[in-house]
Amino acid sequence: MAPAYVQGSIDEPLVEETIANRLAAAVAKYPDRVAVLSNQGELTYKQIDEQSDAVAITFRDLGLRPADRVAVCLGNLAE
């Protein structure tokens, strides 16, 4: 049976939650669990966290600050 969120409903509301907070919670609880599985491979929650940190560091090094807006255009890939 598919989980409830796949069927379009969830038990807990996500109001007031950020993607960053949800990712941090998943990394703390399931660091080595597969979070993304695709034809290109798989990524664990820890790997996604490390990659997002690398992007954040790059943005910081380019002079961006918290609350600055950035447009991002990416392909439909796991990486």
- Domain chopping of the chain, boundaries: 1-79
Question: What integer pLDDT is reported at residue 55 of this predicted model?
Answer: 93
In the CATH scheme, what is the code of domain 1-79?
Answer: 3.40.50.980
CA angle 47, 39, 51 (to 5 degrees): 20
Residue 42 contacts residue 78 (beta carbons within 8 Å): yes
pLDDT surpasses 90 at 50:
yes
Express each pLDDT in 22-44 by its tens digit.
Answer: 999 999 999 999 999 988 899 99
The C-alpha atoms of residue 67 and residue 69 are separated, in whole angstroms, by: 6
CA 8 to mean position of chain CA atoms: 20
Number of alpha carbons in the 13 Å side-chain half-sphere of residue 27? 16
